[in-house]
């Protein structure tokens, strides 16, 4: 163990799934996790997946688990998977990154990159998206929600981070490298804006959404508004392409609960601000993006009941 160790900051459902795949591929994975039941479970029993993609229950031992960075070793790659509203907490991992290492955010929404650049050098930061799916069953125990892929790229043109792809691929993940990660991030934002919000409001798994014409119609409108916002941000997107990806994702992750639904059920803060709130930043006035504004207002109201 040493500089080749991968550190996951925020090992919830998705972090656990990715960690398990990387461990399965023979890589050393350690976890920086906030104090609580999840930390205790990961430290005591590792990661348990109930019904993985082969249909079996499996357990994976982590190289180390701690809420104290000084108890972990230097890492060539830090993968950030904390909720968007907790990104500032990643500054605690600064001293874990090796001199030529990379910190990679695969978080939902916008605003995470800017926060990481305040903690790390810009040339050390990579950004991307992840479409693997998992859901929490209990502390340290997750359910497999569907395989996916990762797209990532560097923030600076003068540094090629394709080696990160090769490292993750060696762990059995499907990964591709792009020169500019922002179009992929905006595509994922549009899909999150369609799926996460409606699943959380309707209390449905991803596949169940397909059975309701009214929900599908709402998701189309939410996606169209996200595409308009992306265009105003200088990122042209094709709605038809995004809608096709969206439908494929719903089928592929049919048994999965979206992260926002899991947050609502657990009465935790959601990522509504980083997702729908980010889209609303590009509205021309208070009447623009009415569908996004409606789901945003409803989820903020729900959140206010358990987040003081």
Tell me the CB-side half-sphere exposure of residue 220, using CA atoms within 13 A. 8
CA–chain centroid gap for 99, Å, is 25
**pTM recorded for the entire structure:** 0.92
Q: How many CB atoms lie within 10 A of CB 220?
A: 15
- Going by pLDDT thresholds of 50, 70 and 90, the confidence category of residue 3 is low
pLDDT tens digits for range 165-189: 999 998 889 999 999 999 999 999 9
3-state secondary structure of 256: coil
Q: What's residue 306's pLDDT?
A: 83
Torsion of CA 6, 13, 49, 93, to 10 degrees: 20
Contact 18, 130 (CB under 8 A): yes
Tokens of 200: 């959380």
For the chain, list the domains and their CATH numbers: 6-179 (3.40.50.720), 183-306 (1.10.1040.10)
Q: Are 146 and 133 in contact (CB under 8 A)?
A: yes
Summarize pLDDT for 195-220 with one digit per residue, the tens: 999 999 999 999 999 999 999 999 99
């Amino acid at each position: 163990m040493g500089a080749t160790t991968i550190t996951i900051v925020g090992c919830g459902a998705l972090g656990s799934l990715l960690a398990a795949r990387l461990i399965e591929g023979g890589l050393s994975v350690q976890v920086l996790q906030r104090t609580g039941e999840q930390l205790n479970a990961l430290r005591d029993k590792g990661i348990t997946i109930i019904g993985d993609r082969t249909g079996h229950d499996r357990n994976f031992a982590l190289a180390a688990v701690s809420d104290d960075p000084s108890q972990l070793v230097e890492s060539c790659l830090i993968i950030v998977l904390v909720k968007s509203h907790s990104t500032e907490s990643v500054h605690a991992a600064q001293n874990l990154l090796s001199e030529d290492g990379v910190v990679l955010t695969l978080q939902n929404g916008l605003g995470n990159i800017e926060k990481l650049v305040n903690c790390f050098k810009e040339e050390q930061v990579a950004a991307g998206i992840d479409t693997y799916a998992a859901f929490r069953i209990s502390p340290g125990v997750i359910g497999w929600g569907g395989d996916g892929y990762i797209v990532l790229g560097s923030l600076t043109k003068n540094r090629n981070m394709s080696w990160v792809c090769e490292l993750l691929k060696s762990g059995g993940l499907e990964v591709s490298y792009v020169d500019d990660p922002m179009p992929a991030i905006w595509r994922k934002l549009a899909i999150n804006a369609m799926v996460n919000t409606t699943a959380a409001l309707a209390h449905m798994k991803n596949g169940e959404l397909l059975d309701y014409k009214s929900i599908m119609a709402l998701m189309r409108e939410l996606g169209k508004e996200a595409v308009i916002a992306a265009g105003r941000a200088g990122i042209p997107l094709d709605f038809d392409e995004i809608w096709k990806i969206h439908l494929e994702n719903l089928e592929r992750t049919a048994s999965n609960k979206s992260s926002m639904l899991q947050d609502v059920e657990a009465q935790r803060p959601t990522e509504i601000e980083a997702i729908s709130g980010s889209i609303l930043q590009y509205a021309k006035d208070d009447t623009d993006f009415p569908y996004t504004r409606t789901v945003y207002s409803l989820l903020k109201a729900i959140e206010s009941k358990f987040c003081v």
